[in-house]
Homo-oligomer: A and B are copies of this chain.
Amino acid sequence: MSPIKSFVDYHPDSQFPLENLPWCIFSSPSNPSPRVGVAIGEKILDLATLSSVAKEIFEHETCPIVPERAKALFYQPCLNLYMSESRDVHRSFRSFLQSLLSLDGPLRGYLQDRRESLHAQVLLDQTEATLHLPVRVGDYTDFYLSKEHAFNCGALFRSKENAIQPNWWHIPVGYHGRASSIVPSGTPIHRPAGQYKLSPTDAAPVLGSCMRLDYELEMAFFVGGGEQGTKADGHGEVNELGQPINIREAESYIFGAALLNDWSARDIQAWEYVPLGPFNGKNFGSTISPWIVELSALEPFRVAARVQEPGPLEYLREEKRSTWDINLKVEVKGSRDEEWTTTTESNLKYMYWTMTQALTHHSIGGCNLRVGDMLGTGTISGPEEKNWASLLEKNLGGKREWAMRSGERRTWLQDGDSVRITGLCQGEGFRVGFGEALGKVESCKVKF
């Protein structure tokens, strides 16, 4: 496939070519209201402004969204209302946008040659924009889909022989996370305070600032309106309470994906998690990239998912198991560092369970999913050591130091450290990227 050309100039290596068009919520100096846009190269196409200053564009026969509806969908502080539209609308509108922004095509003239002033109004530099949390997340569920991550953690906490729990082979294990503390890239993360034991043999815990602060390289998938679309409040149910989603339909409910750093406080987590799971060890912050890449943009990167042995129960069986080939990277930079140190290189394709299996399992008991729900993959580790996607794995549970590029030794994250996750799909002659999920560790607000 050769790249399609846009009249908007961008580098051939751009992560936001016409093949991507990821969604965002942004504001700008001239208009501080958060609203809907898509990235193209180094620019953002301001769909909100477009819907009010050039409504004739939305009257074109190939546009699935009428002008009034476009205004309602794009003058929004979150993508939820657009995401609640049906998959057909999403696909058609994506094609329409590609056509609108392409160098040659039936919509040539609508935006491209039209008026200088229109360009200035609706295409702005990303560097000028402030990017906001793109989705108002109803519920956040985090899964545990990587076999290598489950093995590495189990081996540390138990033994290599009993590393993976018996249920893990049958269940795409998940738990409910915290929606309120999901923040967009760039939001500082304060080191949490919490209870932990200074030594495993201590009788009682202490309250202190976390001493084992970690990242987790994950991806987040967002629920959209599915084949039918949902009611118009942006949090519509995609399945009624009590009614599971069939695995054959699961993918239709996924609108798109982003990068996710699910920060973890390992000492707090270790002390609190029995028997109800992680809580304060996780809920102090989860950073997502501000761009939502539609599944349609990932289609060229679809690859076979790993073979599952033992085979899953019937309701989780997929005829063609697939996932996406997305290269993922974590880098860390200390406050005095000039360069980033790559700490993890992994790929979404390493996951043992697929997102469609996770979503189906989520609903099998009748749990209702809603537009805007966020499903995290869990830490995406892979078979090689460089793929280990948390410091817990990299430092063998705190027992092994690793080196920054500066030569400085590290075990866990320190105050002032920045952590950056990036993701990139390599196509033939083009790339589809996810931007970044960036967060800097700031000192604990509780003083000890």
CB distance from A392 to the nearest CB of B (A): 14
A67 to B360, CA, bound (A): 48
Chain A positions 278 through 291: 1 when the CB is less than 8 Å from some CB of chain B, otherwise 0: 11110111000000
Interfacial chain B residues near A362, Cβ < 8 Å: 280
Q: Is the CB of B244 within 8 A of A369?
A: no
How many identical subunits does the complex contain? Answer: 2
Give the interface segment out of A1-9, A117-125, A265-273. Answer: A265-273
Interface residues of A: mostly helix, strand, loop or mixed? loop
Give the interface segment out of A169-177, A224-232, A296-304, A429-437. Answer: A169-177
CB distance from A76 to the nearest CB of B (A): 13
The answer, yes or no, to whether A367 is at the interface (CB within 8 Å) is yes
Chain A positions 18 through 52: 1 when the CB is less than 8 Å from some CB of chain B, otherwise 0: 00000000000000000000000000000000000
Among A164-189, those with CB < 8 Å from B are: 165, 167, 170-171, 173-181, 183, 187-189
Q: Is the CB of A180 within 8 A of B276?
A: no
The answer, yes or no, to whether A364 is at the interface (CB within 8 Å) is yes
The answer, yes or no, to whether A361 is at the interface (CB within 8 Å) is yes
The answer, yes or no, to whether A144 is at the interface (CB within 8 Å) is yes
Among A349-369, those with CB < 8 Å from B are: 361-362, 364-369
Known contacts A167-B205, A273-B275, A365-B193; decide if A373 and B139 are in contact (CB<8 Å): no
Interfacial chain B residues near A281, Cβ < 8 Å: 365
The answer, yes or no, to whether A204 is at the interface (CB within 8 Å) is yes
Q: Is the CB of B178 within 8 A of A176?
A: yes
The answer, yes or no, to whether A194 is at the interface (CB within 8 Å) is yes
A193 to B272, CA, bound (A): 29
Interfacial chain B residues near A189, Cβ < 8 Å: 242
Known contacts A361-B280, A366-B192; decide if A138 and B179 are in contact (CB<8 Å): yes
CB distance from A407 to the nearest CB of B (A): 31
Interfacial chain B residues near A180, Cβ < 8 Å: 138-139, 237, 367-370, 373
Q: Which residue of B lies closest to A367 (CB)?
A: B283
Interfacial chain B residues near A179, Cβ < 8 Å: 138-139, 179
A-side interface residues toward B, CB under 8 Å? 138-139, 144, 165, 167, 170-171, 173-181, 183, 187-190, 192-195, 204-207, 210, 237, 241-244, 265, 268, 271-281, 283-285, 310, 313-315, 361-362, 364-370, 373, 442, 445-446
